[in-house]
Amino acid sequence: MTHQEFNQLLKRYLAGETTEQEENLLLEWYESPANQQELDLPERQKEAIKKRMWQKIRQNLPARTFLRPLHLAWLSGVAACLLVGAGWYWGWDKPLSTFPKATQEVVSQSGIEVKNTLQTEQEVVLPDGTKVTLSQNSQLVYNKAFNQTRREVYLTGEAFFDVKRDENKPFVVHTDDLVTEVLGTSFRIRQNHNSRTTEVSVRSGKVSVYALETTTNREHNGVIITQNQRAVYNATTHTIVPGIVEAPIPVIEVREIAGNLIFQEASLPQVLGELTRLYGIEFVISNPKSNECRLTADLNGLTLFTQLDLICKSIDATYEKRGTVVFISGEGC
């Protein structure tokens, strides 16, 4: 019997729909040597998890009972079956040792873990009103005391956060040994386990990103990024590199500036000034002679980097992203 077939049969058992022969099949499958595996966890955590799982199982069991000594790995499957409704489950399908130590403590102290098992993004609303959009196979862990004195979560995978503003309680996201801290803003965090990198990109507001350090000094390896900026942390080199997101979005309504994106013999500083106002991105003209260049163009309805391509072609220049700044280089006009 496959795990999927077993899960389906277990659901039918808990609903009181199985025959005596099927119940014997469940016992036979469970007692087979291939299923006698234990999760590699400290005994204290095993007992805490087992207790929580049994509470859920007993709440869902009908008058008929199926109470034999169970291994923790099997109990994990039971809990997943019980709580899987609508594609979500709250459980421990992943060894807690893969999380930072602080996360293990949160879970062992009645924390809540949410994992998106669907094929699409799913929204989670936290107790403070913060909305988290979890990507597929991503998971979020937070304490039951969340928002009482602290707002702190642990993310594995990718998620978009729309944080409810609270100046008295910064919102903190732990992603392995990278910390993202805000008051109220929207941003995305994306992990890449193959390259051991984590990217934080900001849609609105301001975000502090820093790496956890083992030293006791007052210095942190970190940056502050704002809208249309990102920070990429490399866990191998322990470096954080700030930059510009791949597809910047306007920081103000496009219609407020649409008329100003039609240029007639406008100077390069004037054109770039309007783009700064639209995207919040800083532009630097490397050669002062380029300040005299004039541009006639309609830049409405184009992405930022398409706009820059047109600008640079018209004045025989190039652009280069250096961190969070775009440099324009050319011989001048």
Average pLDDT over residues 205-210: 93
Query: Taking every pair of C-alpha atoms in the chain, what is the biggest distance, in angstroms?
Result: 89
Q: Which amino acid is it at 117?
A: T
Top-confidence residue, 111 or 70 = 111
C-alpha gyration radius of the chain? 27
Short-list 320, 98, 26, CA closest to 17: 26
Structure tokens that stand for 36 in this block: 């006698």
- Rounded-to-integer distance, Cα 112 and Cα 93, Å: 13
Place of tokens 């929207």: 186
Top-confidence residue, 110 or 159 = 159
Domain ranges in the chain? 3-89, 97-244, 254-330
Structure tokens that stand for 19 in this block: 């025959």
Q: Are 199 and 232 in contact (CB under 8 A)?
A: yes
Short-list 247, 295, 243, 244, CA closest to 274: 295
Residue 278 CA, chain-centre distance (Å), reads 27
CA atoms within 13 Å, Cβ hemisphere of 162? 7
> Among 9-23, 51-65, 132-146, 306-320, whose mean pLDDT is lowest?
51-65
The pLDDT of residue 8 is: 67
Bridge partners for 158 per DSSP: 190
pLDDT tens-place string over residues 6-38: 666 666 665 667 777 776 676 666 555 544 444
Whether 80 shows a pLDDT value over 90: the answer reads no
The pLDDT of residue 28 is: 64
Burial class (CB in 10 A: 0-12, 13-18, 19+), 36: exposed
- The answer as to CATH 3.40.1080.10 being correct for domain 97-244 is no
Helices assigned H by DSSP within 61-185: 72-83, 101-108
pLDDT tens-place string over residues 113-152: 888 888 899 999 999 999 999 999 999 999 888 988 889 9
CATH number of 254-330: 3.55.50.30
